[in-house]
Amino acid sequence: MILGKLEGWSLGKHGVITEEGKRGTKSVGPNMTSCHPSYGRKDLLVDCCPPGFQSPLPFVDFQFPDPQSPLRIRRPAHAVDVDYISKYDKALSIMKSLPHHDPRSFSRQANLHCLFCTGAYDQQNSNAPLSIHRTWLFFPWHRMMIYFHERILGSLIGDETFALPYWAWDIPQGMVIPDMYTNNSSSFYHTMRDVSHLPPQTADLNYVSDTNLIPEDQIDINLAFMYNQMVSGARKTELFMGCTYKAGKEGYCNGPGTIELAPHNALHTWIGSSLNPGREDMGKFYSAAKDPIFYAHHANIDRLWEVWREAHKQQLDIKDPDWLDSFFYFYDENLRLVRVKVGDVVDTIKLGYSYEQVHRPWLNMRPKPSYPPKLARQMLKTKEKNKLEMLSRTLVSSSELDTHVRALDASLTVKVRNHWRKKEKEEEKVIVVHGIEVKGDAYVKFDVYVNLIDQFKISPKFREFAGTFAHIPDGGAGKKKIDLKLG
Ligand code: C2O
């Protein structure tokens, strides 16, 4: 992997991206007749296109479900009862038995993810590929996908209260794969998983490779990590939601939000089977939705979007019409093709579902500095004076990084020049790593620390931790440089 520019940078006042101009003129949407085979891995061409995509199909515009119908309550998967499990099991087995030509079938549902995550469609009025990861479409697209999925499941068993479970990996009770997914006589069972990560193994929300931590320590680190990804690292819209992705080649961006990077990407990798080249199924996006746990994983991602929105009293919600008017098509439970806009899916109550609340211990888990601040300042000063260290090949300045790319094959210390003007002092500071280039097809991961003193005290448990980069290559054609922004 290559590291590009790194600099201090500050977002606008609230970090809310607004834009004057016409409604949604640069909004993104697929050209449904443009489906083509796409790369699931660098070395694997897949064809996830639905039958008959070549001719335009009639569709209806999205309508909210009847506000009188009962609210679907999504509950944590580790706490659901046997009745619920057998109900969901039945719905899912029916879905799995539907033929592929039925868009409600499990294979077609799984293919939806493959289509939009590998760039199988071009955008409307453009030959730019459409891909929803690592952008501000990440949360809304997955919300749409599981919304229709949930309603289809419910209709297959005639239950309009049916709701998906969520895998609450952000709280200690949920930090193992929920039992229902490991019962090999149920439809939730899936063989393509890393067997060493089955219960009772505690999930590593910032997974790189296996560690030997005892569960208590892993849980502590996970909670501190959640605090960073949800609270301290997510105080600006873009940091949480991902970059501003607009229509056409010029509108392209590649900058994931905190939760998408990890736990989202990290857990995809953690679950997928280590015996498969891309840790399929969960470890690669073309295959991820074949594993039933995908839907509970994404229900939790969706829930955390709600938690974040509420924490900021909806003040950080994106107001850009280009985002609100970006649209996709999904089949609903009545086999109608529905065009749905991002703006339609911001409010879950209007969509007829909500989440059963759980206690969130990470909310108050602000990490402590690894050394008392006074001592830390002194130590940093001495470090700076120490010319020997300045000569070390692992120390570079950010201006050097502007012009010379660096391979990140060992830890790298970067002296960041200060761009901030006085009046911006009070504002949230953001670190941007521009132009990260990922070579090859492996899972790529690195953490970033600010003012690190002691190389041996590195953990999200310390306040010096600024965030992480976690990348699942999607095999997509062309070079895509990624921006990482950390708050
Ligand atoms: Cu579209 Cu969890 O990924």
Q: Mean of the pLDDT values across residues 143-149?
A: 98
Ligand 1 center–CA 152 separation, angstroms: 20
Q: Is 298 a catalytic residue?
A: yes
236 lines ligand 1 (CB under 6 A): no
Name every residue whose Cβ is closer than 8 Å to that of residue 400 and which is 6 or more positions away in sequence: none
Distance from C-alpha of 433 to C-alpha of 350, rounded to nearest angstrom: 38
Nearest-atom index, ligand 1, CA of 265: 2
Q: Is the pLDDT of residue 215 over 90?
A: yes
Q: Is the pLDDT of residue 385 over 80?
A: no
- Per-domain residue ranges for the chain? 30-364, 373-486
Ligand 1 center–CA 351 separation, angstroms: 21
How high is the pLDDT of residue 223? 97
Q: 407: buried, middle or exposed (CB in 10 Å: 19+, 13-18, 0-12)? A: exposed
pLDDT digit string (tens) for 412-452?
Answer: 888 877 666 666 555 677 888 888 888 777 888 899 998 88
C-beta separation of 467 from 228 below 8 A: yes
Q: Is the pLDDT of residue 8 over 80?
A: no
| pTM given for the model | 0.92
Q: What single DSSP character describes residue 201?
A: P
CATH number of the structural domain 30-364: 1.10.1280.10
**SS3 state at 181:** helix
Distance of CA 396 to the CA centre of its chain: 31
Written as six digits, the tokens of 177 are 């794969």
Average pLDDT, the chain: 90
Ligand 1 center–CA 268 separation, angstroms: 8
How high is the pLDDT of residue 437? 85
C-beta separation of 143 from 305 below 8 A: yes
Determine which of 14-28, 98-112, 129-143, 431-445 has the lowest per-residue pLDDT on average.
14-28
DSSP 270-317: HHB-TTSTT-TTTTSHHHHTTSTHHHHHHHHHHHHHHHHHHHTTTTT-
Nearest-atom index, ligand 1, CA of 301: 2
143 lines ligand 1 (CB under 6 A): no
DSSP 460-471: TTBTTEEEEEEE
Ligand 1 center–CA 15 separation, angstroms: 25
Determine which of 50-54, 212-216, 243-247, 406-410 has the lowest per-residue pLDDT on average.
406-410
Q: Is the pLDDT of residue 217 over 70?
A: yes
Q: Is the pLDDT of residue 308 over 90?
A: yes
How high is the pLDDT of residue 178? 98
C-beta separation of 288 from 307 below 8 A: no
85 lines ligand 1 (CB under 6 A): no
Q: Is 78 a catalytic residue?
A: no
